[in-house]
Chain A
Amino acid sequence: MSIRFIRFISSRWTRLVLVASVLMGFQTTLFNDMRPFGVMAQVMVLFAACAGVVYGAEIGAVAGLIIGLMYDCVLTTPLGLASLVLGATAFIAGAFPYFVRDSTWWNKAIAVAVASAVGEILFPIAQALVGLGGWVQWRIFVVALVVAIINLILAPILIPVVRWTLKETLVG
């Protein structure tokens, strides 16, 4: 029983929920207040993109779907929408290791920025698909650009956090 409990506590997915909760706390407070050019930084999108870039499409997609589901609970959009978008974002970011074999920190950051921009564009499109029209405007490209730049800057900080969070085991 105790071994199972320890396994559960030390599993990457439990760590993911805990770390994502803290990040979401920052998302709904600090990043909600700081809006350069009127655009909010999207740390949850950044986390999903980092997960994809560091651990590949499959683990990234699962991580994206889980943190997206958590993010959905604080958004006003239909429950499950952010989950799909973040899952797709991580999956797209997961294509990066297939293209770049010996990646450096800066080309990972660029991949995260590109995936973040794609994820940010996907969000209003997904909203339109479920009938919440009106958000597909030219503005989404400005939003995607600003989010990409912010995430380009934040990616080198968050990639080690994501690497630790989604590490298969903390021992060894």
Chain B
Amino acid sequence: MSAISAKRKRAIALLSLTSIILITLDLQGSASTSVLRGTFGVFFRPIEGVARVITRPVSNAWHGITHYNAVTQENDLLREKIAQQEGAAVAAAASVRLSQELLALNGLPTLAGINSVSAQVIGDSPSNFSQSVEINQGSESGVKVGMPVMNAAGLVGKITKVFPRRSIVMLITDPEYALSVKVINNPEAASPINDPEASATTTSSTSTTTTIPKPQPTSNIPGFTPGTTTLPLTTINVPISIPSLAPTLTVPNNGALPIRETGILEGRGPSRVPIVRFIDSAQRFGTILPGAPIVTSGGSLSLAPPDIVVGTVSKVTDRLGTAGPILEINLVADLANLSFVRILLYQPITEQVKP
């Protein structure tokens, strides 16, 4: 009996040691653990497939019982929203088209110019302490670790593990997720500042004509093909305000343009909304108001291209000193109901493999 017990104790010690070694290897990013997972997946997928077929009626019945009221309410709301947004969508599409043409004209990356792969969500993480989903596209479709994943609404997450025909997507709400984002704020309109020392003078306004030659679009981003929009030499009337001893000092009216400020988005688990943390507060930026849109900032080090919609500010919490505020955000993508996603085949310039 004691011999059996000693044997079992050895087995426990051996298995524990194996687990610790595997944890160490996996945290170091060893390829052997990915091979092990992939091999296990080959054997396990058929079992999972059969289990899915068998359990689908039970699962459907469960959803029918628990979500029926919510689904009918959601349907009503969605019908109303569709009616509201049909008109706005046409105008928005025109604006987006115009914006993309302008960006392409200046050789700047646009989402429309980045190749993408559509994928279906085939499973959630079977754990209460992980925010990830599994999709049915992998390295055979060109998917690589780090690529941003979005749905029709906005950013969903990023690829963290890639297998030949499937990938794991870490959702924005995972505490391990962090991304550089920018807040587009609409500051208050510029107001004239009274200058008591100024004498009675006037402000005159004139206009000048500038000819802009067509720029050559260029980009170093793989997968991005600048648009082929061609425009003739353009004549633009630029109004110029010349202050000439005016009684009031006119602040340049750049307040009409939205100002952008960069921060770090961090996930906080499924029960708490993600936050955006600023390094310091900038006076120029003004007060951030709830509802301000948040988009990815892009850049040579960011894994996501610029201007993917992430969400809107829901709450602003100020911090002491020069530390910037913490923003709680409402995500535009509904992470609880993901069916189809799009993987942007985007890699930042710093990750580009040179031939």
Which of B35-43, B208-216, B244-252, B342-350 faces chain A?
A: B35-43
B130 CB to nearest chain A CB (Å): 5
Q: A66-B15, A73-B36, A135-B175 are in contact. Are A84 and B130 (CB under 8 A)?
A: no
| Cα distance, A140 to B125, chains bound together (Å) | 17
Q: Can you pick out 17 interface pairs between chain A and chain B where the beta carbons lie within 8 Å of each other?
A: A22-B47, A24-B44, A25-B51, A29-B123, A33-B55, A42-B128, A62-B8, A62-B11, A70-B40, A74-B40, A76-B132, A80-B20, A83-B15, A87-B12, A87-B16, A135-B129, A135-B175
Which of A103-111, A123-131, A151-159 faces chain B?
A: A123-131
Contacts of A75 in B (CB 8 A): 125-127, 130
| Cα distance, A53 to B132, chains bound together (Å) | 32
Assess the B62–A79 pair: CB atoms within 8 A.
Answer: no
A59 at the interface (CB under 8 A from B): yes
| Cα distance, A61 to B168, chains bound together (Å) | 30
Contacts of B3 in A (CB 8 A): none
| Cα distance, A68 to B27, chains bound together (Å) | 17
List which B26-56 residues lie within 8 A (CB) of chain A. Answer: 26-27, 33, 36-37, 40-41, 43-44, 47-48, 50-52, 55-56
Selected from A25, A124, A140, the residue in CB contact (under 8 A) with B48 is A25
Question: Which of A62, A81, A135, A137 has the most chain B CB within a 10 Å cutoff?
Answer: A135
Q: A26-B55, A76-B170 are in contact. Are A120 and B23 (CB under 8 A)?
A: no
A8 CB to nearest chain B CB (Å): 16
B85 at the interface (CB under 8 A from A): no
Q: How many residues of A contact B (CB 8 A)?
A: 55
Q: How many residues of B contact A (CB 8 A)?
A: 56
| Cα distance, A132 to B160, chains bound together (Å) | 14
Contacts of B51 in A (CB 8 A): 22, 25-26, 28-30
A149 at the interface (CB under 8 A from B): no
Q: A75-B126, A131-B27 are in contact. Are A84 and B20 (CB under 8 A)?
A: yes
Assess the B9–A139 pair: CB atoms within 8 A.
Answer: no
Assess the B269–A84 pair: CB atoms within 8 A.
Answer: no
A143 at the interface (CB under 8 A from B): yes
- Using CB atoms, name the residue of chain B closest to A23: B51
